[in-house]
A and B are shown apart, each in its own frame.
Chain A
C-alpha cells in the first residue's frame, strides 16, 4: 500500500471521528418536559412570562436572578440564572435557555435573548448571557 493511501485513510478516520464527536456533543432543542427526563444540559426555546415576578436584588445576592419562562409547548417553569440580571431582560421577546432541571426549577447556564432592537424597531437583535465566565 502506498504511503499516501495510508495517510488518506488516517485523514478520513480523523474526519469521521470529528463528526462523531460533534454529533455526540451536540445537545438538542427541547421543552421543559424533556428537561425533566434527562440529566444532561439542553436548549429550550421559550419566552419570558412578563406577568410574574422577576427577582433580582444585588444587595442580597449579586449572582442570583430568577424569573418564570414558558416553553413553546406553553409549559411554565421557574428559571434561575447564576449571575446578574441581563440588561434589558424585560424587553426580551424570545429566550433560548441552556441548562438543566434541578428539582422543579430550571437552572440556566446561559441565556440567549432576542430583544426588539434598541435602534431600529424593524429589526431584531440577540444577546447572550452566561452564568460563568468563558474559560478553558
Chain B
C-alpha cells in the first residue's frame, strides 16, 4: 500500500521533471530536424525541417529556463522534501548563496552547461546564416547528450542521468520515510559547505560552464566543414568563436585559482590538482588549435593539425567532465566530486564526440586540403605551428599524469602519481613554457611566408640579450635563480615575449592595429608566467617556528622547517620581519574571525607598518573549516591561515570560550596553583607575563544585586595589570555581609588571569591578593601559517591583459568576416 505523505510539495518537482523530459525531447527533435534539413533539404530556401529544428531548439531553451525556475522555487522556499534542496541549502543560508546552491550539486553543473549551450545555440540560429543547419545539428546533438545527464529516467532498468528533482525519500532509504509525517522531522537542510559560501562561487561556476559550453561551437564548425566538404570555408567563421571560448574558459579557470588563493587553504593559487588540470586541457588544446587555424587561414598549410586540435578540444571537454564526475579520481584529488552512478554514461558521451572526430577525419582523409609543399623555416606560420605543437605536448604530459587512475582502471595496474607532484609538473611544464613563450616572441619578427634572414637574427639576438639581462636582474632580486634552472629559462622566455610583443604593440599604435590583439594576449601570457614563476617559486613561509622551545626530541633530529606557529592571545610573536599578535576575535555565527595584528618595527623601535588580518574559521554541523585572509600589496601579498585553534570548539559554536560553560566552582582547575601576595597600596606584584600594581582601595565598592546594610563592608582593590605591554585593570571585591566573609574574583581573560581579594590584614595595613594564572595550555591560541607571495599581482594582471587581448582579437576577426 502506498503511504500518503503529508506536507510534500510535489507540484514544482513534477513540473520541473516535465521540463527536463521536454528539454531532452525538444533537443532530440531539433537534432533530427536539423540533420534532415542538412541532408535532405539541401538548397531549399523554406525548409520545413529547418523550421522544426529551430522550433525544437527554442522549446529546448524555454524548458531549460523552466527547469531553472522550478529548481529555484524548491531552493528558495526550502522544500526539504527534495534531495537537492536538503543536501545543499539550509534556512539560514543568505540569499546570495541561494543562487550558488543552484550549481552546488553535479546536476546543477550540468544544468548550467545546458543553459549556456542553449543560449549559444540560439545565438547561432540567428547569426550563422548558411552554416546554421550543419552547425546546429552538432550543437543540438551535444544538447541531447547533455540533457540525458539530468534526465533521471529509467529505461530498461537502467537509470539515465540524475535529476535534481529527486525526492529525499527516493534518494535514500531510512526508516523515517515510512512515517507519513516524516517532513515534520526534517526541519532544516544540510546547508552549504562553508568554503562554497564565497562570492567567487557565485560567478566562477557560471563563467567556467560558459567556457565549457562554448567549446562546442568551433567543434560544430569543424564537423560541419568536414561533413559538408566545405573544408576551407569553416575556418574563418570559427575563429571568433574559438577566441571567445578560450577567453571565457581561461577567465573561468583563473577565477577558480583566485578563489583557491583567497578563500581555500591550498596555500597558493594553483596546486596541479587533477580537477584543475582537467579544466585546462581543453583550453590549452583550443589555444593551440586557434593558432594553427590562423596559420591555415593565412597560408593554406597545416589543415589537418588545425582541424584535429579543434575537434580534440571538445572531446577533452568531455574527458575532463568524466574525470571530475565519475569518481575515478577518488584517490588522487582533493575535490570531493563523487560518482552519481553515471560512469558509463560519461564514458559513452566521450566516445560519441571522439567517434565523430575519428570517423570524419578518416572518411574524408583523401579529400582533406593537405599541402605537400614544405613551409619555409623562416616564416611566421611555421613557428606558430611549432609553438602550437608544443602546447599540444604540454597538454599531453598533463593528460598522461592526471589520467594515472584511468590507466590503472584500464590496465589493472597499481601506479600512483609522482609523490612530489607539484615539482614534477612545475619542472616539465616550465620546459614547455620556455619553448612556447620563446616562439610567441621571435615569431613576431617573422613575416608570413618569407623573411629576411640576417635582419631577423640580428633583431632576435639583440632582444634576447636585453631579456637575458632583465631576467638576470629579476631572478637575482626575487631569488628565482636559486631554483631549478628550468624556471630561469622559462622566466627568460617570458620576459623576452613581453618585450617583443610590447614592441609589436607599440608599432600597432602607429598604424598596424591589426596585430594589437595578439600582442596584448601574448604580453598578458608572458606577465602571467612571470608572476606565477616568482610567486610560486619564491613564496616564503614566514611563520617558521624557530623559537626552539617547542621542539620535541623526535623532531629535533630532523631540521625540517616548521611552518605552523602557535600564537597565544595578546602575546606578540616574531615572524620574519613582522611581530604578530593575536589580539582578539569577532564572532557572527557561523563565522569566527581571528584578529591577527602585524607590526613591522624598525631598529629604533618605531612601528613602520601595521595592519590587522582577519582569517576566518567557520563552524558548521560540528566541524570547523578555515579560510585565510590576505594583505595585498603592489609587489607582494601576506597570506595568513589558521590551521588550528583552541578558542572555539566545533560543538560550542558561538559561545565565547570553554570556560564560560564551566561553573565557578570548577573554574580554578583552569589555572595554575594560586599564589597569594600581601601588598599595600602602591606595591607591585610580579608574575610570569608581567606585573600588577595595587593603585588603591575603594571602601564603597558595590556588587551587583547584593544590597548592603550599614553593618556590611565591601572593599574593592583597584589593580592595574601590565601583561606583554598591554594594560588592563580589574577590581576584585572583598565583602563582609551579615558577619560572613565573601570575595568576588575578577577575571582578565585577555591576560589569562583571575584575581581574588581574599583578606584584609589590619595589623600590617595590607591586603592579600591571590593571583591565578592560566597555564600556557589553557590560554587561547591559534596555530597559524603565514606565507609571503611576491609579485603575485603580475599573475592576476597578466590574466586580465590576456583576456583583453583575446577580446581585441575577436573584434578584429569579426571585422575581417564582414569585409570578406
Identify the A interface with B (CB < 8 A).
2-4, 7, 11, 14-15, 18-19, 21-22, 25-29, 40-43, 45, 57-64, 80, 82-85, 87-88, 96, 98, 109, 112, 114, 117-128, 130, 132-136
**Contact between A84 and B783 (Cβ–Cβ < 8 Å)?**
yes
**Contact between A26 and B564 (Cβ–Cβ < 8 Å)?**
no
Assembled-state Cα–Cα distance A129/B771 (Å): 42
Residues of B contacting A135 in the complex (Cβ-Cβ under 8 angstroms): 268, 422, 536-537, 539
Assembled-state Cα–Cα distance A18/B620 (Å): 45
Instruction: State whether A126 and B333 are in contact (beta carbons under 8 Å apart), knowing that A28-B415, A58-B644, A59-B776 are contacts in the complex.
Output: yes
Q: A42-B416, A61-B551, A62-B562 are in contact. List 18 more A-B contacts (CB 8 A).
A: A7-B386, A18-B397, A19-B400, A26-B417, A27-B419, A59-B566, A59-B776, A63-B545, A63-B555, A64-B555, A112-B332, A118-B621, A132-B561, A133-B268, A134-B536, A135-B539, A136-B426, A136-B536
Residues of A contacting B555 in the complex (Cβ-Cβ under 8 angstroms): 61, 63-64, 82
Q: Which of B332, B422, B777 contacts A134, CB < 8 Å?
A: B422
Q: Which of B386, B620, B781 contacts A58, CB < 8 Å?
A: B781
Smallest CB separation, A128 vs chain B (Å): 4
**Contact between B266 and A134 (Cβ–Cβ < 8 Å)?**
yes
**Contact between B331 and A45 (Cβ–Cβ < 8 Å)?**
yes
Ranked nearest first, the 8 interchain pairs of A and B with the lowest CB-CB distance are A125-B336, A41-B419, A25-B418, A63-B562, A136-B537, A43-B416, A119-B190, A84-B643
Residues of B contacting A83 in the complex (Cβ-Cβ under 8 angstroms): 563-564, 643
Residues of A contacting B644 in the complex (Cβ-Cβ under 8 angstroms): 58, 62, 84-85
Residues of B contacting A134 in the complex (Cβ-Cβ under 8 angstroms): 266-268, 271, 422, 536
**Contact between B193 and A82 (Cβ–Cβ < 8 Å)?**
no
Assembled-state Cα–Cα distance A28/B336 (Å): 23
Instruction: State whether A128 and B334 are in contact (beta carbons under 8 Å apart), knowing that A26-B404, A134-B268 are contacts in the complex.
Output: yes
Residues of B contacting A26 in the complex (Cβ-Cβ under 8 angstroms): 401, 404, 415-418
Between A and B, 7 residue pairs with Cβ closer than 8 Å are A119-B88, A124-B330, A127-B334, A133-B787, A135-B268, A135-B539, A136-B536
For B562, give the chain A residue with the smallest CB separation: A63
Smallest CB separation, A58 vs chain B (Å): 5
**Contact between B396 and A122 (Cβ–Cβ < 8 Å)?**
no
**Contact between A4 and B374 (Cβ–Cβ < 8 Å)?**
yes
**Contact between A21 and B428 (Cβ–Cβ < 8 Å)?**
yes
Q: Is B424 an interface residue (CB 8 A)?
A: yes
**Contact between A60 and B550 (Cβ–Cβ < 8 Å)?**
yes
**Contact between A122 and B418 (Cβ–Cβ < 8 Å)?**
no
**Contact between B401 and A28 (Cβ–Cβ < 8 Å)?**
no
- Which residues of chain B from 342 to 393 have a CB within 8 Å of any chain A CB? 374-375, 377, 386, 389, 393
Number of A-B contacts (CB under 8 A): 172
Residues of B contacting A18 in the complex (Cβ-Cβ under 8 angstroms): 393, 396-397, 400, 428
Residues of B contacting A27 in the complex (Cβ-Cβ under 8 angstroms): 416-419
Q: Which of A22, A57, A124 contacts B400, CB < 8 Å?
A: A22
Q: Which of A22, A58, A88 contacts B646, CB < 8 Å?
A: A58
For A132, give the chain B residue with the smallest CB separation: B563
**Contact between B190 and A120 (Cβ–Cβ < 8 Å)?**
yes
Assembled-state Cα–Cα distance A22/B483 (Å): 21
Residues of A contacting B396 in the complex (Cβ-Cβ under 8 angstroms): 15, 18
- Which residues of chain B from 568 to 618 have a CB within 8 Å of any chain A CB? none
**Contact between B338 and A63 (Cβ–Cβ < 8 Å)?**
no
- Which residues of chain B from 389 to 433 have a CB within 8 Å of any chain A CB? 389, 393, 396-397, 400-401, 404, 414-420, 422-424, 426, 428
Assembled-state Cα–Cα distance A15/B266 (Å): 31
Residues of B contacting A22 in the complex (Cβ-Cβ under 8 angstroms): 397, 400-401, 418
Identify the B interface with A (CB < 8 A).
87-88, 171-172, 190-191, 193, 266-268, 271, 330-336, 338, 374-375, 377, 386, 389, 393, 396-397, 400-401, 404, 414-420, 422-424, 426, 428, 483-484, 487, 533, 536-537, 539, 541, 545, 550-552, 554-555, 560-566, 620-626, 643-644, 646, 776-777, 781, 783, 785, 787
Assembled-state Cα–Cα distance A83/B644 (Å): 11
Residues of A contacting B415 in the complex (Cβ-Cβ under 8 angstroms): 26, 28-29
**Contact between A84 and B564 (Cβ–Cβ < 8 Å)?**
yes
Residues of B contacting A126 in the complex (Cβ-Cβ under 8 angstroms): 330-331, 333-336
For B621, give the chain A residue with the smallest CB separation: A118
Residues of A contacting B393 in the complex (Cβ-Cβ under 8 angstroms): 11, 14-15, 18
Assembled-state Cα–Cα distance A84/B148 (Å): 44
**Contact between B419 and A42 (Cβ–Cβ < 8 Å)?**
yes
Name the residue in A4, A26, A85, A128 with the highest tally of chain B Cβ atoms < 10 Å from its Cβ: A26
Assembled-state Cα–Cα distance A4/B372 (Å): 10
Smallest CB separation, A115 vs chain B (Å): 9
Residues of B contacting A64 in the complex (Cβ-Cβ under 8 angstroms): 552, 554-555
Smallest CB separation, A129 vs chain B (Å): 9
Residues of B contacting A109 in the complex (Cβ-Cβ under 8 angstroms): 419
**Contact between B550 and A62 (Cβ–Cβ < 8 Å)?**
yes
**Contact between A133 and B785 (Cβ–Cβ < 8 Å)?**
yes
**Contact between B566 and A29 (Cβ–Cβ < 8 Å)?**
no
Q: Which of B267, B331, B487, B622 contacts A136, CB < 8 Å?
A: B487
Q: Which of A42, A57, A125 contacts B338, CB < 8 Å?
A: A125
Q: Which of B193, B333, B552 contacts A119, CB < 8 Å?
A: B193
Residues of A contacting B333 in the complex (Cβ-Cβ under 8 angstroms): 126
Residues of B contacting A98 in the complex (Cβ-Cβ under 8 angstroms): 419
